[in-house]
Structure 1
Amino acid sequence: MESSAVLRGVLVVSLLVVLCHGQTSQEVSAEDLEVGRNEPAADRELVEALEVLLDKVHNRVSMEKRGSIPLCGIGDRCAMKFGPRIGKLCDCGRGANCNSYLLKCI
């Protein structure tokens, strides 16, 4: 007898949780739509400010690395063999390595 009462109580509570969860998600989505209308102008301003900052940082970094080795793509020659030594022509990009046998970025 007691187990059926506990089972009924659990079912009622789970039903209330499911019903309440659906109501809160509808209210949140309506609020998000109202707030979303005013944000694109602010977002554009932030993006423009970040682009200006990134350009300044990129220019500063490029001036510091004047003597650095240029980047080469996958499949390009990245080294030249000078007898027993190997010299670099360019640096392979991220995720690629210069193969010392083929002398190409792989």
Structure 2
Amino acid sequence: VLLAMERVHAAVYLSVCLSLLTSLCQGQRSADTVLGLTTAELAEALQGVLDEGDTRLSVEKKASVIPRCDVGERCAMKHGPRIGRLCDCLRGTACNTFFLRCY
């Protein structure tokens, strides 16, 4: 009876090991091709997307630059309860939220 139990355990252990090995091999094979594309083709496609994204980000950064205001210039605009910034005050001055000018 003990010999039969050891054989069953050995068979179960062997089948688990083989199934794990098979799944690892399948994963390795499918990692090289995804949706019919090789890793080189995927890398080229990713590089193209990243190159396009760099130009778009640089344009957005340039568009978000806020101009500078001199002392006494209007620096904000009131939209109901909200205040929208028109420009940044020079160093050493601040935008007065009551008068909406740099002081």
Instruction: Tell me which structure has the larger Cα radius of gyration.
Output: 2
| Higher strand proportion | 2
Structure 1 length normalisation: TM-score? 0.46
Structure 2 length normalisation: TM-score? 0.47
